[in-house]
Amino acid sequence: MTEDRRTIAEAADTLPMTAVDVPSSPALAAQPPTSGPDTTGARRVATERIEALVAREEREKFRRRLLATARVGVPIWTGFALLDVVAVMRGAGPWWVLAVARALPIFVGLYAVGALKRKRDLGIVALRSIELGLFGVAAVCILAGIAIQGAWVSPLTPVMSLLLMAHGMLLGSHWRRSLMTVAAMTLSVPAAFGVASLLLPEVAAQLDDPETWSTFLVFYLPVLGAGAISLAAGHSVYQLRSQVMEAKSLGRYRLRRRVARGGMGEIWQAFHAGLQRDVAVKLMQPRLGQDDVAVRRFEREVRMLAELTHPNIVRVFDYGATETGVWYYAMELLDAQDLTAILARDGAMEPARALRLCTQAAEALGEAHARGIVHRDVKPANLLLVNARASREFVKLIDFGIAAEADADLTLTATGMIVGTPGYIAPEVITGGEVTPAADVFALGMVLYVMLTGTEPFDEGTPNEILRVTLEATPPPPSSAREGIPSAVDQLVMRCLARDPAARFADGEELATTLRRVRAALGR
């Protein structure tokens, strides 16, 4: 596959643009997908694919796990107060130290429960701080209970094992993420005894007793084992969660790899078990799933695409939302090239080919216009060419993300802003006038101009300068930029580019009819 090869998924994520936006994303267009498995390492590809999906919802899942940990931990920690009573009765140390060591983690746990329930949008730093508070404070309090007993041998030492096991089983993090926390809790036991030996002569004197060492190891080895088990168990839970998320988060769609990312979401290549084929799945950014306007816009885009059945428009198979509120829709995945890449590689097209391809695009727009839908961002990057048969190229019109309906709520498409790509925006749209099918006719006329000449008539300067020139100037006929273009084609293009929308073809169907008539007259 050549470097300018694209899938429908890559092109489908072109974002709405204001008058000062860059018209397209070179980085996105430069990401060629692969049509087969990655031979450089299936394990690495699978891991990256799964971790990319896990990262999407991990923060919310982590918040829920922390909340469950705090809810379970507070009553269990409170129940262990019976050990404090026994310790005081045996003269283990000042009762108030044990009372503080018991009460402090309870207060931290109750605070964590309240914070995690009230604030569902906590950042990862805040969540990690709560994790540190829950387990760090508990570990310090256990060490305090050990230290006040004034001996290297303490029945409280194995309690650290329970804390380590709880960390691994309840939080279930990747082993790299948990390593520092688990290591700190595991090594804190001998560290606490070491500090006590420096401060308390009676503790230091015990270091010369071999029996003390052997007994300490008997108590401490389970702590080391618990640390190792905590890492292994936590990582196993993490991997299981990854597999479940991969298999269930999008139902029957098994995500293979991400091929594009934008402000509204991501495009993934996915396998549909029922269809036994790859499809393109567009995922809305989770943060936008809480935005009613963004969700309405996403649903409107899906609904409009689903209503359009023309073969020259990308097909939508399905849409829905995950259990955690991530919206998605599935569409056909095509091995195709966008018109921008073809023109950059081959230059201007022969009139016969340009007219044939433009006719297909006009027919696709004709169906959209008949249903009251205006695309609003017709440009070469949104026209894909598929070699359906070796002898014929097939056009696919994509990206209805900023399309408008006659009865739609215009706030969904950025009221007060110019949407589209400078150079292809009709004059009346620039001035804030009514957006009609004639605006798409202007844009497709500009696409045909570029196909015939290899250049845009207004391609110099900033986006704002291009908009200004579009309002003030009329482009020269295509034949002035390239020889061999028939006068009938000149007339057709210039009618599409008329500044007055009433002077253009009314919609895509009228333009397609005229294109077919011109092709027949020219014998092409």
User: Of the spans 276-290, 380-394, 412-426, which averages the highest pLDDT?
Assistant: 380-394
User: Of the spans 60-64, 169-173, 244-248, 489-493, which averages the highest pLDDT?
Assistant: 489-493
Which residues lie closer than 8 Å to 180 by C-beta, 6 or more apart?
A: none
How large is the angle between the packed helices 210-248 and 42-79, nearest 10 degrees? 120
Q: For residues 486 and 221, which has the higher predicted lDDT (pLDDT)?
A: 486
Domains of the chain, start order: 26-45+249-332 (3.30.200.20), 48-247 (no CATH), 336-522 (1.10.510.10)
pLDDT at 4 over 70: no
* Distance (Å, whole) CA 506 – CA 204: 95
This prediction has a pTM of 0.54
* pLDDT at residue 46, as a whole number: 39
Instruction: Kindly list the catalytic residues.
Output: 377
Poorest-pLDDT segment among 152-156, 490-494, 512-516: 152-156
pLDDT at 369 over 70: yes
Which residues lie closer than 8 Å to 27 by C-beta, 6 or more apart?
A: none
Poorest-pLDDT segment among 88-97, 176-185, 225-234, 270-279: 88-97
* Distance (Å, whole) CA 501 – CA 436: 8
Residue found under tokens 């072109």: 14
* Distance (Å, whole) CA 65 – CA 69: 6
Q: For residues 510 and 38, which has the higher predicted lDDT (pLDDT)?
A: 510
pLDDT at 501 over 90: yes
pLDDT at 517 over 90: yes
Residue found under tokens 């340009």: 354
* pLDDT at residue 510, as a whole number: 97
Sign of CA dihedral 494, 429, 421, 268: negative
Poorest-pLDDT segment among 9-23, 29-43, 359-373: 9-23
* Distance (Å, whole) CA 451 – CA 11: 19
* pLDDT at residue 395, as a whole number: 94
Radius of gyration of the chain (CA): 33
Poorest-pLDDT segment among 5-9, 105-109, 159-163, 492-496: 5-9
* Identity of the residue numbered 130: I
pLDDT at 324 over 70: no
Which residues lie closer than 8 Å to 356 by C-beta, 6 or more apart?
A: 393, 519, 524
Q: Show the tokens assigned to 126.
A: 């805040």
Q: Shortest CA distance to 313 belongs to which of 361, 353, 268, 275?
A: 361
What is the pLDDT of the chain when averaged over all its residues? 77
- Residue 232 DSSP code: H
